[in-house]
Structure 1
Amino acid sequence: MAVDLSGLRGKIRRYGEGVAAIAARKVEQDTQAAAPVRTGVLRSQVSAEPPVPAGDVLVVRIRSAAAYSSYVDEGTGPHPIEGNPLLVFFWPKVGEVVFFRHVNHPGTTAREFFAEPMPARWAAALQMAKSRVNV
C-alpha cells in the first residue's frame, strides 16, 4: 500500500520557516534589550533578517550595523588615539578644557551582549517558537 507524502515536505518547510521567523524576532528583541545603552544607537542597530532557505537549511542572520558594536561586545586592549591635529577634552579633574596631540587609551571592558550569549539565546528562542507554529 502506497502512502502519499507529497505535501509533507512543504508542511515541514513551512513549519521550519515559521519557527525560524518567530525565533529570529525574539532573538532580535532579546539582543536589543541586552545591548548597553549610552545613546541608544547600538540598540537600534541590532536587527534580524527573515529566514532564507539555503538548500535543506534555513539561514537567519542577526546583526548589529553599528560600526563599533564589536568593540563594545568584545572590548578593546590599550591603544593610542591620535589627534587630527589635536584632541580636545573637558577634563573634570582639572576643571578645564585640555588639548593633546595623542592619548593612550586604557582599553574598554567587554560587555558580551552579542556573540557569547547568542547560542543560548537562539536555543531558548527556538524552544519558545516551536509551540507557536501550526501547519
Structure 2
Amino acid sequence: MARIHARVEINEPALERETGSIFRAKHRSITRRIANQARADVPVRTGNLGRTIGELPMVYRPFHVSGGVEATADYAAPVHEGSRPHLIRARRAQFLHFWWHGREVFRREVFHPGVRARPFLRNAAKRVAAADPDVRLDYVELD
C-alpha cells in the first residue's frame, strides 16, 4: 500500500487579494439588483416609499462581505411587516380631525383595522437570489 504525505500551505493574504475584488463586485451587483427589484415591487400610493429604498454601505472583512437594502420611510416597517388592528387616540389635541366620505369628522379615537404584510424587500431579495446561479439559497438569510 502506498502512502502519500502532502503539505498544503495557503497564502491567505494573496488569496484574499485575488478573491476580495470578486466578492465585492458580486455583492455590489446583487445589492443593486435587489434595490431595483424592490423599487419595482413596492406598493405605490405617492411614490415616497419607493424613493426611500437604498443600498446600505458594504462592509468588507477578509473573506466576508455584508451589506443590505433598506427603506427609510417612517411607515416602511408597517407596510413591509403589516400591522395588527389597533386604536388610534388623539394625543396632541382633544380630537382627531379628518375627512371621511366628503364629511368633516372629529373623533377622540378611531379603530384601525390593520393592514396585511406586503414584504417587498424580502420578495425582491428572494427573486434576485433565486435568479442568480452563484447564490446558494440554503446559505441565504432573509430576516
* TM-score band w.r.t. shorter chain: 0.7 to 0.9
Counterparts of 1:1-135 in structure 2 under 5 Å? 7-83=14-90, 84-92=93-101, 95-115=102-122, 117-124=123-130, 126-127=132-133
Q: Which has more strand, going by share of residues?
A: 1
RMSD over equivalenced CA pairs, Å: 2.6
Question: For residues 67-118 of structure 1, what are the alpha-carbon distances to aligned partners after superposition, in whole Å with 9 as ceiling and x for unaligned?
Answer: 21110011111100112321112121xx421110111111111112123x25
Cα shift at 1:38: 0.9
Structure 1: distance between partners of 2:18 and 2:132: 18
Is the contact between residue 37 and residue 124 of structure 2 (CA under 8 Å) also seen in structure 1? no
- Percent identity, please: 30
Could you say what secondary structure the match of 2:94 adopts? strand
Gaps of 5+ in 2: 1-10, 136-143
Gaps of 5+ in 1: 130-135
How many residues are treated as equivalent by the alignment?
Answer: 125
Cα shift at 1:64: 1.1
- Go from structure 1 to structure 2 and tell me whether the alpha carbon gap of 1:128 and 1:20 turns closer, same or farther (over 3 Å shift): same
Is the contact between residue 41 and residue 124 of structure 2 (CA under 8 Å) also seen in structure 1? no
Query: Highest Rg: 1 or 2?
Result: 2
Cα shift at 1:126: 4.5
Higher relative contact order (CA 8 A, sep 6+): 1
Cα shift at 1:127: 3.6
Alignment TM-score, normalising by the size of structure 2: 0.74
Structure 1: distance between partners of 2:103 and 2:57: 50
